[in-house]
A and B are shown apart, each in its own frame.
Chain A
Amino acid sequence: MSDDLLEDGHPGDGLSALLDGELSPLEEADVQAHLVGCMACRQEMEAVQVARLWIRALPPVEPPIGLYERMLVPYRPGRRRVAMAFVGAAAAVAAVLVSVAPARQQPVSPSVATLIEAHATSSGDGDLVTDLAPAGVPVSVSP
């Protein structure tokens, strides 16, 4: 007998493998031969055969209408027009902002250059760590 039989001498999951055509011809012959003389395995075979047929007979399931459309456009169909109107309005606002943007450009005060200069001059010896230390971080490095 092949090693497809369990230790107790019965094919066990080899029965499902037989139904699924997953056994080699040799294994299949072994299991078939065993079935002839074993009532318990014939009953087990019948049970899994019936279950297999029931599951395979389950029909395809129609997805709910609009399931994928909702995923492609992340708004519910009923709200889509509202959403599109919102997008339209947002685009219009953006266009206005862009058109007036040049007029609103004003010099930053104080200027970035001034800030950089101020910070550069405030660092006494130019050592960044020394300058940052008073900011509250206790600098204590033990070896």
Chain B
Amino acid sequence: MDLTQNPGVAGMRAIKTALFVLCTLPFLGMVMAAFEIAGLSLGANPVEALIHEAGLWGLRLLLLTLAVTPLRRMSGWNWLIRLRRMLGLFAFFYVFVHFLSYAVIDQRLALGPIVEDIIERPFITIGITAFLLLLPLAMTSTNAMMRRLGCRWQQLHRLIYPIAILGVWHFWWQVKEDIREPLIYAAILAFLLGFRLWTRQRRRVAPAVQVRSDSAAGLERAMGELRASPAPRQ
């Protein structure tokens, strides 16, 4: 099977269905653990475990979303781009579950303590900022919004870069002393962002090969998605 080829409508539907199921599994695990089904458990401090678990999956999916473009460039599997929206929306979903676990289950919607947390605790300020920035991205993820926003859509969705940085930073600042885990996330993010800088740099060095501007290429990519056909290889 040649993965550089367009998998076709049926193939794409199968891939998307599989990815959808895969992305819901962590949530299913959390729900099962919350109700102690099948030997799963959230442990002695279930509230903290739920918050951490949802947050980690939000971060993982955010990184996966950011991995689509580099993977596509390196492999030539252009159809990967058509999975990006689902990954991004699942990232938002898990970050939303993370936020709800904190605001509803942990703080019981007590406005005073929540506002105090947001104002006084830098890691929560950062986290809530990332969450708020994610909202417009989730809301403008439909085809209709992509069409309406045109090339401003691409500009808006570049917010994903600061969001991912804030997300990893939020994780880093909340651990006590053992930074091994956030370090792994930071390294992956650094690679994913570094890849983009590097390809941009290369394009600048060799303008004869790459003449199109970023936004033109982005628009084309977006159009490619709309047409449900592979975007041109670059």
Q: Tell me whether A and B are bound partners.
A: no
